[in-house]
Every structure is written in C-alpha cells, then in structure tokens.
C-alpha cells in the first residue's frame, strides 16, 4: 500500500508499505479521506511537533475516514463496507486517572495518538491506503455523512470539547480569536450550540470569510486596523500566539471566561498577562477531546455544515504539495484534504 511518511525535516515521501492484516479485535479500514492538521505540517517542516521529535519515519495523519475492508477475529457488529472514522487516541499503561479526573481520558498520562511521535516507537497515522485499528476506535458514520465530511469529525471534536469546557452557550456573546481551521470550527460549534452572537477575529481576510460562512455574525480583521471587541463574557483563544494573549485577556469582560484551545508553545515566550488578575478572568485550558468525536458526527448528521472549511483537495501521491499549501499563509487555505483511495464519495 502507499502511505505518506515523514522521514525528517522537509522530507516527506509516498512510500510502499505492507498491507495490514487485522489482528484479534481489529479491523482494517480502506481509507478515503484525510485532513491535514498543523501537527502534520510541523512534523514535515521541523521533524517534530511540540515536544514530540521524530526518531524514525512516521506515517502522518489523524483526521481520517474510510470504509471497513476486513474484520479480525472476535469483532462483532462491524460490517465490511461500513463507512467509519476513527477516534485516534489509545490509552497506554495501567495507570488509572485520579477520581478528580474521572472520565477525562484526554488527560491520561500516556496516550498513543494517530500520527504522533510522542512515544517510542511512534504511532503511525492514517494517511495510507489501509490502516488496521482496534474495533473500539471505530466511529460509524451516520446516514447522510460522507467520508469526506467524516474526515473533519476529529477537528470538530476538538472544537466541541472547547465549547463544552465553556459551559452553556445559549444566547451568549462569544469571541473567537484566531480563525484557522480549529477557530473556524469553534465558530460553527458555538453557533450550532445556540450562541447568540459570535465574533471572529484574525489577521487574515480569507480565514475570516470562511468563519463568516461557518456562522460568524461579525468579523474583525486585525491586520487592517480592526480592534477586538470589549468586555466579552466568553472568549475562545484559538490562535496559539503568545503575543495575542494580552489583547485577548483585555477583551475578556471582568469576571469573564477565556478558553485556551490554541496550542501554546512549550518554551518561554513573552505575553502580557496582567488582566488575568485584575479582571479576575477564569482561564481554562482545552486539550484534544474525550469522546466528542461521537457528538461531532451527530452534529454533522443534524445539519452542521463544515464544507466551507474545505478549500483544497489533493491526491495521496501529491501529499508534499498538499502540505506546502496547508503551510503557506498566502495560499488562503482552510482545511486541505487528501484523497487516500477507494471509491471516494464526496
């Protein structure tokens, strides 16, 4: 089978690998679509993502969907041809979460995640024609949700987890700072969950136009002199830029809540944080998701339209070009998809 493999900084190849065979409790998926994430771009550009550093070649990709191709021994309730996406996390080791973290499996101390170099050996992702997965990682696609949309269930789950961390949204005014793919999906999720007014802010006009199509009631283009609104009770920071933290905290109302969904750097970086104290802001972190991927599929089936986020599609053999487009701010890309194979349905 063909697979998109990163070998080091600037070195991504389409390699030929053995076709997988399902083990006990596993199925093999014939992959159809994969979405390129910022971590995929980081592995390609830098040979690592955050604190995870490549030690050997890695198959990229954790935003994937396809159809069941074969079923291993002991698997029931799964049919060949069934359209599915995958929960990309697998908990590792016997450690139990403390009672205060009950159910918050995204905070487990050791997690294998599709397309991640965090552990050694690394965990290959799903940018390949086939991938064997544990049956309990499957999430069947509801009627009316294509595999193309199903590939966006994982990033939508990240957005939904952030929205869930914020509490009830009905009727509230929300600011989303950073309208990249995750920020745009936070906009969509917030509107779908009943937010009254959603304001999106970014430095890029094309990203803001996507945010509008996903439900933003108002946009602020910070590159042309627009300012952030004042005294917003609920704010999502989705840019991950330390320099944005000061203005975003200042835009948050006294006693308001700021949900940090943009991944901040792991090394020291200057940021103006004084308003965190003087405005008594509640600052909440949001990391990946628990099982909001199931909720994401339900929302997609209920009519949540994420299609405006998809701006580019490439064939698997053109993965290097796809990564370059996803990494280039001048490409005006939103979500870049790879056609991974099979009878791809739109």
Q: What pLDDT score does 65 carry?
A: 98
Residues 324-342 have pLDDT tens digits of: 999 998 999 999 999 999 6
- Spatial CA neighbour of 41 closest among 15, 10, 17, 7: 10
70-99 residues labelled b (16+ CB within 10 A) or e (exposed): bbbeebeeeeeebbbbbbbbbeeeeeeeee
Round to the nearest angstrom and report the end-to-end CA distance of the chain: 23
pLDDT tens-digit readout, 81-132: 999 999 999 999 988 899 999 999 999 999 999 999 999 999 999 999 999 9
Q: How confident is the model over 149-158, as pLDDT tens digits?
A: 999 999 999 9
Report, in angstroms and rounded to the nearest whole number, the Rg of the chain calculated over CA atoms.
Answer: 20
Cβ atoms within 10 A of the Cβ of 180, count?
23
Per residue in 252-273, pLDDT tens?
999 999 999 999 988 899 999 9
Domains and CATH numbers, the chain: 2-152+306-339 (3.90.180.10), 158-285 (3.40.50.720)
Q: Which residues pair with 34 in a beta bridge?
A: 64, 338
Q: What is the pLDDT of residue 266?
A: 83
Whole-model pTM: value is 0.96
Q: What are phi and psi of 93, to 5 degrees?
A: 90, 165
């Amino acid at each position: 089978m063909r697979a998109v493999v990163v070998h080091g900084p600037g070195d991504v190849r389409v390699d030929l690998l053995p076709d997988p065979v399902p083990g006990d409790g596993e199925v093999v998926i014939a992959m159809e679509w994969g979405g390129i994430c910022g971590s995929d771009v980081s592995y390609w550009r830098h040979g690592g993502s955050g604190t995870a550093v490549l030690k050997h070649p890695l198959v990229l990709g954790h935003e994937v969907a396809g159809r069941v191709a074969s079923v291993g021994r002991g698997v029931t309730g799964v049919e060949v041809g069934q359209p599915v996406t995958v929960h990309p996390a697998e908990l590792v080791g016997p450690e139990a979460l403390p009672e205060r973290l009950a159910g918050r499996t995204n905070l487990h101390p050791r997690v294998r995640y599709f397309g991640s170099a965090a552990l050694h050996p690394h965990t290959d992702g799903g940018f390949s024609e086939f991938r064997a997965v544990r049956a309990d990682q499957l999430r069947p696609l509801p009627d009316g949700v294509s595999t193309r949309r199903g590939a966006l269930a994982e990033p939508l789950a990240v957005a939904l987890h952030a929205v869930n961390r914020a509490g009830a949204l009905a009727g509230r005014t929300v600011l989303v700072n950073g309208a990249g793919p995750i920020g745009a999906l936070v906009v969509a999720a917030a509107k779908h969950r009943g937010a009254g007014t959603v304001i999106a802010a970014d430095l890029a006009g094309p990203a803001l136009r996507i945010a509008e199509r996903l439900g933003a009631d108002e946009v602020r283009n910070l590159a042309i002199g627009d300012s952030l609104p004042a005294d917003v009770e609920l704010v999502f920071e989705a840019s991950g830029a330390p320099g944005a933290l000061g203005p975003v905290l200042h835009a948050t109302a006294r006693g308001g809540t700021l949900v940090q969904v943009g991944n901040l750097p792991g090394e020291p970086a200057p940021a103006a944080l004084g308003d965190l104290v003087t405005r008594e802001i509640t600052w909440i972190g949001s990391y990946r998701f628990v099982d909001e991927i199931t909720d994401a599929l339900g929302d997609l089936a209920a009519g949540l339209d994420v299609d405006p986020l998809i701006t580019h599609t490439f064939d698997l053999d053109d993965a290097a070009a796809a990564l370059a487009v996803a990494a280039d701010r001048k490409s005006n890309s939103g979500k870049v998809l790879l056609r991974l194979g099979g009878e791809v349905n739109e």
